[in-house]
């Protein structure tokens, strides 16, 4: 066994781990980071940007909620079912974190809401080199944070997964990890921060703790290596569990060309397997609400339906629902895109010459579909949707073959929760007492949303990871310094 020593060990170099390691180093701590993957940044490399509150950019543009407004929005949204102290500490920290990142050389685009009705808290990272912001642009931020941490003397061990937390008496004393050659190494430290990003790549845990069966009634991002390691290790040393959920959104199963996927995300006619509408399709702009609604339907499935006229509208006039991750304004050639998808054996988009044929292919109840389309077409003629009050501009009848359908399942960015922490990110045991020297941050400890991701304040999960990471880094460094005296 090779021996290593630090004041603070950070388990993982994802979003929370990077923030924690820089924050601890800023407080003068010697920091070692062990990371399972071959790169830093974790899931954050797929994202676009974090939440900020009262940032320099928001103050400049006079936009966004104040810290007090954000707290009220948060707690009203969650019905006070979550730890208000932790939410408060997160939002307090969030008033300085964007500026802290800017000082490292990270640039952000103008803060914005993710969808109409959201608050402009989302600070999309400017990826530089003249590239536009878009899916994965936040990777630039994690590259800069990694360089910053290295410059401060933080030692990184990549491809070195931590296996176990070591305790001496009631105090945390270090970790064991597996190095690149497969050997177990031990590292001693006064404080350990867990930030392993949850269990989004662990279908057994997803089934056990959230009830979803991956691939059948859930299509979530599975970032390799997110197996719940940190949660397991914390529980092994006595940490209390929290509620564990998926960060629910909605997705089409499997891999699909983004332009094609956007075509099927438009607010036309959304039905369940009974052939019934179940929400105002305008709400499809809000991924969390739509994920919730779909997960309450038969087999947790939904189908977006449109006809040839609507297809032509999307090709010539364009999309109704625009979003930033894949910023398409119209579909160029739907037939060609669908042909490619079928060639690649994609199974969850459908085209048919009649509604009967469409029900045969999708499994939607034929009587239900017929009834709903007759009713919906009547709403379109009158320009009034008396059931869900959908915007009349979006009421387009389904009358003309061919007919198209795309299937949705509940989706998820990843998991949420697992390790109980307090507002200082100290890990608590089942008696709600802290485990001296143990801290957790990011997804592993993110139980502040209640039953639904607080997407109304967008950038929230990356925001929580950065801010809880910073809080953990500062507190772990202070603890290590006081424990060393
Ligand atoms: C497609 C996509 C887009 C997203 N976009 C956004 C966005 O724009 N804004 C937003 O707020 N959120 C976004 N998110 C969510 C956000 O990226 C995550 O909430 C955030 O990355 C969580 O940070 P974390 O540090 O907890 O975990 P991660 O960033 O996932 O880091 C966890 C790290 O732990 C490592 N690890 C695992 N086990 C071990 C072990 N045993 N030892 C050592 N290391 C280990 C992993 O390799 C990984 O590097 C997005 C997510 C996805 C999937």
Q: Which of 368, 388, 411 is the last residue of a domain?
A: 411
The yes-or-no verdict on residue 265 having pLDDT over 60 is yes
Instruction: Tell me, yes or no, whether 318 and 232 share the same domain.
Output: no
Nearest CA residue ID for atom 4, ligand 1: 47
SS3 245: strand
Q: Is 294 within a domain?
A: yes
Question: 239 lies in which domain range?
Answer: 3-244+417-484
38 CA to middle of ligand 1, Å? 14
Residues with CB under 6 A from ligand 1: 11-17, 34-37, 42-44, 46-50, 161-162, 195-197, 221, 223, 225-226, 229, 413-414, 442-443, 459-463, 465
Q: Residue 92 CA to chain centroid, in angstroms? A: 21
Q: For a ligand 1 pocket test, name from 137, 141, 174, 413 the mutation site with the most ligand atoms within 8 angstroms of its C-beta.
A: 413
190 CA to middle of ligand 1, Å? 25
Identify the pLDDT of residue 2.
54
Instruction: Tell me, yes or no, whether 441 and 336 share the same domain.
Output: no
| Helix spans in 66-138 (H) | 67-77, 84-103
163 CA to middle of ligand 1, Å? 19
Q: For a ligand 1 pocket test, name from 45, 47, 448 the mutation site with the most ligand atoms within 8 angstroms of its C-beta.
A: 47
Q: For a ligand 1 pocket test, name from 32, 44, 165 the mutation site with the most ligand atoms within 8 angstroms of its C-beta.
A: 44
Instruction: Tell me, yes or no, whether 229 and 293 share the same domain.
Output: no
Q: What is the mean pLDDT of the chain?
A: 96
Which one-letter DSSP state was computed for residue 438?
E
Residue corresponding to tokens 């989302």: 122
Q: Is 440 within a domain?
A: yes
Instruction: Tell me, yes or no, whether 100 and 213 share the same domain.
Output: yes
Residues 455, 279: contact at Cβ < 8 Å? no
Nearest CA residue ID for atom 40, ligand 1: 161
349 pairs with which residues across the strands?
Answer: 406
Identify the pLDDT of residue 327.
80
Residues 186, 1: contact at Cβ < 8 Å? yes
Instruction: Tell me, yes or no, whether 406 and 450 share the same domain.
Output: no
Total count of domains within the chain? 2
Q: Is 249 within a domain?
A: no
230 CA to middle of ligand 1, Å? 13
Identify the pLDDT of residue 1.
47
Percent of the chain past pLDDT 70, that is, above it, reads 99
319 CA to middle of ligand 1, Å? 31
Q: Which of 371, 386, 411 is the last residue of a domain?
A: 411
349 CA to middle of ligand 1, Å? 30
Per-residue pLDDT tens digits for 307-348: 999 999 999 999 998 877 778 999 999 999 999 999 999 999
363 CA to middle of ligand 1, Å? 36
Instruction: Tell me, yes or no, whether 329 and 421 share the same domain.
Output: no
Instruction: Tell me, yes or no, whether 397 and 430 share the same domain.
Output: no
The yes-or-no verdict on residue 485 having pLDDT over 70 is no
The yes-or-no verdict on residue 484 having pLDDT over 80 is no
Beta 3-11 vs 184-194: how paired, if at all?
parallel
The yes-or-no verdict on residue 463 having pLDDT over 70 is yes
Instruction: Tell me, yes or no, whether 407 and 423 share the same domain.
Output: no
The yes-or-no verdict on residue 358 having pLDDT over 70 is yes
Instruction: Tell me, yes or no, whether 389 and 429 share the same domain.
Output: no
SS3 452: coil
Q: Which of 411, 443, 462 is the last residue of a domain?
A: 411
Nearest CA residue ID for atom 51, ligand 1: 413
DSSP 144-169: HHHHHHHHTT-EEETT--EEEEEEET
Beta 269-271 vs 219-220: how paired, if at all?
unpaired
Per-residue pLDDT tens digits for 81-139: 999 999 999 999 999 999 999 999 999 999 999 998 899 999 999 998 888 788 899 99
Residue 383 region by backbone torsions, left for phi larger than 0, else alpha for psi between -120 and 50, else beta: left
- Average pLDDT over every residue of 397-421: 98
> What is the value of pTM for the model shown?
0.97
Q: Residue 328 CA to chain centroid, in angstroms? A: 21
Which one-letter DSSP state was computed for residue 207?
I
Per-residue pLDDT tens digits for 159-174: 999 999 999 999 999 9
Tokens linked to 226:
């997110």
Instruction: Tell me, yes or no, whether 263 and 387 share the same domain.
Output: yes
CATH number at residue 424: 3.50.50.60
Identify the pLDDT of residue 194.
99
Instruction: Tell me, yes or no, whether 304 and 394 share the same domain.
Output: yes
Instruction: Tell me, yes or no, whether 10 and 97 share the same domain.
Output: yes
- Average pLDDT over every residue of 433-446: 98
| Measured distance CA(27)–CA(24) in Å, rounded | 5
């Amino acid at each position: 066994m090779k021996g290593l020593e630090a004041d603070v060990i950070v388990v993982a170099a994802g979003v929370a781990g990077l923030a924690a390691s820089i924050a601890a180093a800023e407080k003068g701590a010697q920091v070692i980071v062990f990371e399972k993957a071959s790169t830093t940044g974790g899931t954050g490399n797929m994202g676009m940007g974090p939440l900020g509150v009262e940032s320099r950019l928001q103050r400049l543009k006079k936009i966004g909620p104040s810290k007090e407004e954000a707290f009220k929005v948060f707690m009203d949204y969650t019905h006070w079912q979550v730890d208000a102290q932790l939410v408060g500490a997160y939002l307090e920290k969030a008033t300085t974190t964007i500026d802290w990142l800017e000082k490292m050389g990270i640039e952000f685009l103008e803060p914005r809401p993710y969808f109409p009705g959201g608050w402009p808290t989302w600070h999309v990272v400017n990826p530089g080199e003249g590239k536009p912001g878009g899916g994965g642009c936040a990777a630039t931020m994690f590259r800069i944070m990694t360089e910053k941490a290295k410059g401060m003397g933080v030692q990184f061990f990549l491809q070195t997964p931590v296996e176990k937390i070591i305790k001496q008496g009631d105090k945390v004393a270090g970790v064991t990890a597996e190095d690149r050659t497969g050997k177990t190494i031990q590292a001693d430290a006064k404080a350990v921060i867990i930030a392993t990003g949850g269990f989004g790549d662990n279908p057994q845990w997803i089934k056990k703790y959230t009830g979803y069966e991956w691939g059948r009634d859930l299509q979530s991002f599975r970032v390799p290596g997110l197996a719940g390691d940190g949660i397991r290790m914390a529980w092994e040393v006595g940490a209390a569990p929290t509620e564990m959920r998926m960060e629910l959104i909605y997705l089409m199963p499997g891999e699909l060309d983004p332009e094609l996927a956007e075509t099927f995300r438009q607010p036309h006619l959304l039905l369940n397997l009974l052939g019934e509408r179940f929400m105002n399709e305008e709400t499809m702009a809000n991924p969390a609400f739509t994920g919730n609604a779909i997960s309450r339907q038969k087999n947790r499935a939904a189908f977006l339906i449109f006809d040839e006229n609507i297809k032509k509208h999307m090709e010539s006039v364009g999309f109704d629902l625009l979003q930033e991750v894949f910023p398409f304004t119209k579909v160029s050639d739907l037939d060609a895109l669908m042909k490619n998808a079928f060639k690649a054996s994609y199974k969850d988009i459908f085209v048919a010459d009649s509604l009967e044929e469409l029900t045969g292919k999708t499994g939607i109840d034929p009587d239900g579909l017929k009834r709903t389309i007759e009713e919906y077409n009547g709403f379109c003629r009158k320009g009034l949707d008396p059931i869900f009050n959908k915007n009349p501009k979006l009421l387009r009848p389904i009358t003309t073959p061919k007919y198209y359908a795309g299937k949705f399942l509940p989706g998820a960015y990843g998991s949420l929760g697992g390790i109980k922490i307090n507002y200082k990110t100290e890990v608590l045991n089942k008696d709600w007492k802290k485990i001296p020297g143990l801290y957790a941050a990011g997804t592993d400890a993110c139980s502040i949303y209640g039953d639904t991701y607080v997407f109304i304040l967008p950038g929230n999960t990356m925001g929580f990871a950065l801010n809880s990471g910073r809080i953990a880094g500062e507190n772990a460094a202070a603890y290590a310094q006081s424990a060393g005296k």
